[in-house]
């Protein structure tokens, strides 16, 4: 799977050109663009999922509700909406590691994870993660899952969107939910990467 800088630079150049054209033609203003960017950076995105994970780590009752009905539990925190109507959370354990994919297109739980990364929509990822998950995680993401842990791949669809509750790191007893949320990464909630290391 190619995640080269050149393709990222090309996408960024196209986005900038489109933005400039829309502003020049009066379709949008720079303040409108800034507002949209702010929404996706601060109101919709992986930081919301991180908030949910941190609460589940800190509050056992909430964790139970999240695993029973993720959609309803997220609503308790004011998180929900389009692409998040039917969510299921999969809890990582010492024995099992979970990862998600959408083999048909790019179904993804936007309310908690934000916009899907480009690689998530890449046909190579969608095909290979199902066939050789351990190899994909190690080679494409630099994320080694020990051989004694089972890896389960979950295929999201328009009817059901999965995401991962990663394991709480050791050494975080007594941490606030805000501190815990800082450890949670988007990739850890997709299952292709770890949470941040505890300093």
Separation between Cα atoms, residue 101 and residue 139, nearest integer Å: 17
Pull the structure tokens for residue 125: 């990822």
Q: Is residue 105 annotated as involved in ligand binding?
A: yes
Catalytic residue flag (residue 107): yes
Catalytic residue among 2, 7, 74, 102: 102
Q: Is residue 74 annotated as involved in ligand binding?
A: no
Catalytic residue among 2, 6, 20, 106: 106
Catalytic residue among 2, 20, 31, 107: 107
Catalytic residue flag (residue 74): no
- Nearest Cα residue to 140 out of 123, 128, 130: 128
Q: Is residue 107 annotated as involved in ligand binding?
A: yes
Catalytic residue flag (residue 106): yes
Catalytic residue among 20, 105, 157, 158: 105
Pure H helices in the chain? 5-24, 30-38, 46-58, 60-68, 70-76, 110-113, 118-121, 123-131, 133-141, 177-181, 186-190
Catalytic residue flag (residue 102): yes
Catalytic positions: 102, 105-107
Binding site, residues? Answer: 102, 105-107
Binding site for Fe(3+), residues? Answer: 102, 105-107
């Amino acid at each position: 799977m190619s995640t080269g800088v050149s393709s990222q630079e090309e996408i960024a150049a196209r986005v900038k050109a489109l933005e400039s054209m829309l502003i020049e033609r009066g379709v949008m203003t720079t303040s409108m663009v800034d507002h949209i960017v702010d929404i996706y950076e601060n109101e919709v995105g992986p930081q919301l999922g991180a908030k949910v994970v941190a609460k589940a780590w800190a509050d056992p009752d909430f964790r139970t509700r999240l695993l029973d009905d993720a959609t309803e539990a997220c609503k308790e925190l004011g998180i929900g909406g389009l692409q998040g109507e039917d969510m299921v959370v999969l809890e990582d354990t010492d024995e099992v590691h979970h990862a998600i994919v959408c083999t048909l297109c790019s179904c993804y739980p936007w309310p908690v994870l934000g916009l899907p990364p480009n690689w998530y929509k890449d046909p190579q990822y969608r095909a290979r993660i199902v066939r050789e998950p351990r190899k994909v995680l190690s080679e494409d993401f630099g994320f080694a899952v020990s051989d004694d842990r089972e890896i389960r791949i979950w295929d999201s669809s328009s009817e059901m969107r999965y995401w991962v509750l990663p394991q709480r790191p050791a050494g975080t007893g007594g941490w606030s939910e805000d501190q815990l949320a800082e450890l949670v990464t988007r990739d850890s909630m997709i299952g292709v990467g770890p949470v941040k290391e505890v300093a």
